[in-house]
Amino acid sequence: MVLRGVNLTIEKGKTFVIIGRSGCGKSVLLKHIIGILKPDKGRILIDGYDITRLDGKRLNELRKKFGILFQGSALFDSLTVEENVAFGLRRHTHLGQEEIRRIVKEKLKMVGLSGIEDLKPAELSGGMKKRVGLARAIAMEPEIVLYDEPTTGVDPIMGDAINGLIVELHDKLKITSIAVTHDMTSAYKIADRIAMLYEGKIIEVGSPEEIKNTKNPVVRQFITGAATGPITAD
């Protein structure tokens, strides 16, 4: 069992970051939040609805509240940037082509990528792919955006730019953001609240400042990157 009795409350309009080692279940937790996986027991409440009890049609409707930036960007290689960003709009709305094109241009501009609509993913750098993935995540104006390791696979300078973009979009769009990461630089920069997942449980929740000053030895070891102490190697 990857998750064991996780108990979290995420405040609307805030950025909540879940930290923890690789393989500790952070991405599994995101999949539960969006309803891709169902827990063996317990509830997941989104706007008062327990998504574990919704049928397929109602769950799909609720999922329209979400946007997600996948760890590897997850762009479709055979589609252009425009087609990738427009994917959800074409699948889930009745908007005309001109309106979809306008929205795509607007979202690409928001992530600093104007004029690349006709390029294919293979022509993009890692950082550009992340930003195209982010433009796709916000294309349908979601209320909640999930970020799965948003700075993985990019250099520190681009990682800082991605973090800045996450903060900027959060402030501009007034969305609820949930990110999972093992990158503490990212966590401290974007979070209102940080929770640590360890051995399937949340062992501490606090503001970035509270987490920086934690007395919990397991959390302390993780945030300082120490290789010895209470956490044993896998």
- Model confidence pLDDT, tens digit, residues 48-104: 889 888 888 888 888 889 999 988 788 999 999 999 999 999 988 899 999 999 999
The two tokens of residue 41 are 């027991």
Confidence class for position 234, pLDDT limits 50, 70, 90: very low
Q: Which residues contact 181 (CB under 8 A, 6 or more apart)?
A: 17, 18, 19, 26, 147, 149, 150, 151, 152, 187
Question: Structure pTM?
Answer: 0.88
Residue span(s) of the chain under CATH 3.40.50.300 come to: 1-65+144-234
Position 232 scores a pLDDT of 47
Residue type, 51: I
166, pLDDT greater than 60? yes
199-220, pLDDT tens digit by residue?
889 999 999 999 999 999 999 9
Architecture of domain 1-65+144-234: 3-Layer(aba) Sandwich (3.40)
pLDDT at 144: 95
Whether 130 has a pLDDT exceeding 80, the answer reads yes
